[in-house]
Amino acid sequence: MENFSHKIELDNTDKKILEMLQEDANFTNKEIAAQLGLTITPVYERIKKLKRSGIIKKTITIIDPKKAGKNILAFCNVSLKEHTLKYINKFQDKIVRLEEVQACYHIAGQYDYLLTVYAEDMDEYQNFITTKLAAIENIAHVQSSFVMKEIKKEYAIKIKI
């Protein structure tokens, strides 16, 4: 689970490196060094430090869901019947194992959890809801919203320099 309480201190060079890597993780240490007016070794050491500190969690390739056959993106709101630690932990343990669930957030408000779920089509989504999500005990209510058009989706976290 995410821990939002620990802030990492970054200088302007760290922030510029992070900005560049968020734009394109394929930038080499040499390219970053050249743009920042540094040599390769300090850039390498800074990136290593950023990874050790946990600010760089991992490097991934982002694919286009539709080109991968995932034509539906649903936001699935889930309410639990009981809110004891035992039931919360059981739900979270089961939900992280479902491959259709792209993200799961424990939220405040009308619902307890917000899931993002990709599916090939409505049949696949319906199968997910009825055979996988419904199999998790203690769910009181599920409400789905479907994305008609994606207007904006950013991955980079903006850090003031």
The per-residue pLDDT for 160 is 84
Rounded mean pLDDT, 50-77:
95
12-53 and 72-146 have identical folds: no
pLDDT > 70 in the chain, percent: 97
Cα dist. 57→46, 47, 53, 70, 157 in Å?
A: 14, 11, 9, 25, 13
| Stated pTM of the model | 0.84
Rounded mean pLDDT, 100-126:
97
The per-residue pLDDT for 1 is 46
Band (pLDDT 50/70/90 cuts) for residue 161 is confident
- State how far the Cα of 19 lies from the Cα of 33, in Å rounded to an integer: 13
The per-residue pLDDT for 9 is 87
Band (pLDDT 50/70/90 cuts) for residue 5 is low
Enter the CATH code of domain 72-146.
Answer: 3.30.70.920
**Spans of all domains in the chain:** 12-53, 72-146
| Average pLDDT score over the chain | 94
Q: If you classify domain 12-53 with CATH, what class do you get?
A: mainly alpha
